[in-house]
Amino acid sequence: MALIDHFLPILIPAAILLHLLLAPYSKVEESFNLQAVHDIIRYGIPDPRSPDAEALFKAEYDHFSFPGVVPRTFVGALVLAGLSKPFITLMEGMVNEQVIVRGVLGLLNALALMSYARAARGAFGQGVANWYILLQATQFHVIFYASRTLPNMFAFALTTIALQQFLLHPTQSIHSYHRSQCLGIYLLTITGIIFRSEIALLLITQILSLLIQRRTSILRVIIPAGLCGAAIGLALTLTIDSCFWQSYSTKITPPIFTTPILTRILGLVWPEYSAFHFNAIEGSASQWGTSPWYTYFTSSIPKLLMNPFALLFLLPIALSRPALSRPAAALLLPVLSFVAGYSYLAHKEWRFIVYVVPHITLSAALGANWIWVRRGKAPVMAFLLVTSVIATFAVSTAMLLISSANYPGGEALSRLHTLLPQYPNTHRGPVTVHLDVPVCMTGATRFLQDEPLYPVPSSGKKEREKEWFETSSSSTSSPQIRFDKTENPTTLLTPSFWDSIDWVLSSSGPARVIGKWEVVDVVRGLKQVKVYRPGEETGLRGGEVCMGPGWKNAVAKLWGMLEKIGRPMLKGRWLGVEMEDTVWILKKVPEERGEELGKVLV
């Protein structure tokens, strides 16, 4: 094997970690699992038989305060917390635990993709595997979201490993292939039961594809693997989630917990069934928007692949060449059938079908390798192939830099930790900080409530506590900062509510906050992507991106370099971003100073 064959797979974990470091904050869709991992690490798991278990969950765990429309599984969060704990201990004080947790999840997905690439090498050769890695690593969505705690990305690692089991190696015996199929069916069944119910449809289409090709056995493969996966999946989710949701205490009332008759009788929770019933059977997913039936094919799949050359040329080549048509069809038939079947639901998001990306990308890699092997006879096509990969990487990098400016809530909360030591607390007790809803939706998490993204360049925690307020023997265990996330509009319009608030992270500025407040800092966020005319200054600067201090300077230089090179080529025009004031960091003005400010204003 050439040296490049050994090191090329490293592109995938390197790209995922780079995306994590440049965009370390999270959005509201990721919050449930991220908060759950935080609570498991921070507070542990109480004995479910203990009478104090429910009290601890309600007092400390985020999911009792913000349960959501339907319950969600804790299985992924529990595994991720367990895997992350040793790294958190090893890297204590170096970086926020959120980055470590996301890094562990990203590496799990990276290992799954690398394992898939290794299976592709065994099935189709090193050349196809190399092109698969290049096409996969230069995509944006899978790489960007691989470290994000969406339920789909917990499922992605398992579905990717499952799908590789259906790749037939030329020298593989039928007995060995049946064992691989058993593992694949087993993993898809477990994943569908625990994480995402739509994977059941992917399992069905994959089984039907194997039956059509006469490559499997119902009695020896499908039924045993399916029953085993179902038993283990149900055992895991019913026991773990019933513990964390404390359903057996009957203190949590339906209809939030819509479960089958049997689980209601036993007082157990099956979260993914609840989500399936709510979204598919009741059709409530349509409340979040609807799309035409063809959206996945015309928008989502092109968005996930990123490379238009793959859709327009590589896939058609793979399907039309005699030596490639059968394996390409075997790859595409089950996943495209899954997408077609799932298009029945009106509410559509690309993450619902993200599991098909490895198979479609591998099909495109078959076409890419066919062109590259014949590059001497078709140099133009080979040039277009290489150019498309480079261009896709450039576009993905631009999307990453733009996305890094889209988490103002997380950036504001991280900055707050830097600002607080500069304003000593004047009263006994913790500082109370109010976070409004948009701030919580754009990056504010419990991990960031504990500490900033990167260490604050100031004195240690104990020294800051001493500086902030005088502690008594009864207050030494009090939290340094207390966070308030009140959402009720009536409460927020009550002046007495704001009397107990010291700081506010507001997405609407001081005008919407009752009382006298000082604007300490303003975080700018992404407004829109626009085409700048000659002479216009672009909006994004290094200090405005939402990432660690060291990365801000690097991004500022990279962004400036790209603009300096590209703008003259485009006659002074440039595709950039427009920034706007997004989150205001407000500090309450003491009454004496408020009166002085009032006199000045008069």
Spell out the domain ranges in the chain.
1-404, 408-454+479-588
Question: Could you tell me if 166 and 181 are in contact, meaning their C-beta atoms sit under 8 angstroms apart?
Answer: yes
What is the C-alpha to C-alpha distance for residues 173 and 165, in angstroms, rounded to an integer? 13
Contact residues for 492 (Cβ-Cβ < 8 A; gap 6+): 486
Residues in the chain with pLDDT values less than 70: 1, 48-49, 247-267, 425-428, 456-479, 539-556, 591-602
Question: 450, exposed or middle or buried, with CB in 10 Å at 0-12, 13-18, 19+?
Answer: middle
Residue 600 is predicted with a pLDDT of 45
Contact present, 523 and 585 (Cβ < 8 Å)? yes
Tokens of 536: 């216009």
The structure tokens listed for 331 are: 């790859």
Closest CA to 460 of 474, 475, 444, 480: 480
What are the tens digits of pLDDT across the range 287-311? 888 899 999 999 999 999 999 999 9
Query: Alpha-carbon torsion 107, 113, 116, 120, what sign?
Result: negative
Check the CA dihedral 40-41-47-50 and report its sign.
Answer: negative
| Mean predicted lDDT score pLDDT of the chain | 85
Q: Is 527 helix (H, G, I), strand (E, B) or coil?
A: strand
Determine the Cα–Cα distance for residues 170 and 327; give it in Å rounded to an integer.
11
User: Measuring CA to CA, which residue among 371, 348, 220, 374 is closest to residue 295?
Assistant: 348
Q: What is the pLDDT of residue 130?
A: 96
Distances (CA, A) of 12 to 8, 22, 110, 403: 8, 16, 6, 19
Percentage helix, strand, coil, to 5, in the chain? 65, 5, 30
In this structure, the number of other CB atoms found within 10 A of the CB of residue 88 comes to: 16
Q: What is the pLDDT of residues 423-476, one digit of tens each?
A: 876 666 788 999 999 999 999 999 999 888 877 554 444 454 444 444 333 333
CA distances (Å), origin 98, targets 17, 42, 52, 64, 78: 13, 12, 28, 21, 15
**pLDDT given at position 247:** 67
Listed in sequence order, the residues at least 6 apart from 266 whose beta carbon sits closer than 8 Å to its beta carbon are none
**Rg (the chain; Cα; Å):** 26
